[in-house]
Amino acid sequence: MRTPETRLFQSSWADGSLDLVAGTAVVMIGVGFWLDLVWTTAVAPPLALTGWYVLHGRVVAPRAGRAVLRRDRRERSRRELGWSVGLGTLVLVLTVVAAVLHPDRASDAVDGLPAVLVALLSGVSAVLTRSSRFAWYAAVLAVAGVLTVLVGAGPGAPLVLGGAVAATTGAILLGRFLADTRETEE
């Protein structure tokens, strides 16, 4: 059962700003793959991080207010982030090892790899924010990643699809949040 403290922690991620910004960045990367502008892969993440920082600081926080989480919650989040980074590194290493050992199969599966890696990131976000919708984005990305390998749609399509789902959900949540919280600051 979720405790009130867990619900309070979840509610701090419920405004949709993270979904909107991260989803848009994933769409950007997907479109970059489509148009052969692979540099978007390097540009989109820092752009998304800056965008989220500005959006949250200027639009969300003045309406939702600010709180410092309890030390036990902060330490738990830090621990989970550590485990997630470890898990992500392990998956990357295993992927590289598999690609070296089976280069023929790797070349077939490579189109689905970006979507699966972003799905992994989304799964980590679900754990860190205790928000199940990030697990749904992960599922959409993973399934789209597998499908793109089967139908040969290229690496961009699953990213555009998964990113669009996240960005649209984020836009709806942010719209609702702004409608519910018209007052700002003291």
Partner 1 sequence: MRRNTTLPTLDPLVHEPARLRVLAVLAMVESADFMFLLRQAELSRGNLSVQMTRLEEANLVVATKNVVAGRVRTSYRLTDAGLAALRTYRSAMREILAAIP
Give the residues lining the site for partner 1 (CB under 8 A): 4-5, 8, 11, 62-71, 181, 183-186
- Closer residue to partner 1 in complex, CB, 71/104: 71
Q: Are 146 and 155 in contact (CB under 8 A)?
A: no
CA separation for the pair 5, 125 (Å, rounded): 18
Locate 137 and state its tokens.
């984005």
Least distance in angstroms from the C-beta of 14 to partner 1: 11
Q: How far is the CB of 7 from partner 1 (least distance, A)?
A: 9
Nearer to partner 1, 34 or 177 (CB): 177
Q: Provide the minimum distance between the beta carbon of 62 and partner 1 in the complex, in angstroms, as a whole number.
A: 7
Nearest-angstrom CA–CA distance, 9 and 73:
9
Treating both helix axes as pointing N-terminal to C-terminal, what angle do 156-180 and 17-34 enclose, rounded to 10 degrees?
Answer: 160
> Are 140 and 161 in contact, with CB atoms under 8 Å apart?
yes
Q: Please, what is the minimum distance in Å from the beta carbon of residue 164 to partner 1?
A: 30
Specify the residue, 5 or 108, whose C-beta has the smaller distance to partner 1: 5
The whole-angstrom separation of Cα 138 and Cα 166 is 10
Q: How far is CA 28 from CA 25, 34, 92, 110, 154, in A?
A: 5, 10, 22, 19, 15
- Nearest to partner 1 of 58, 101 (CB atom): 58
Name the minimum Å distance from CB 97 to partner 1: 43
| φ/ψ of residue 39, rounded to 5 | -60, -20
Cβ proximity to partner 1: between 7 and 102 the closer is 7
What span, in angstroms and rounded, lies between the C-alpha atoms of 156 and 29? Answer: 7
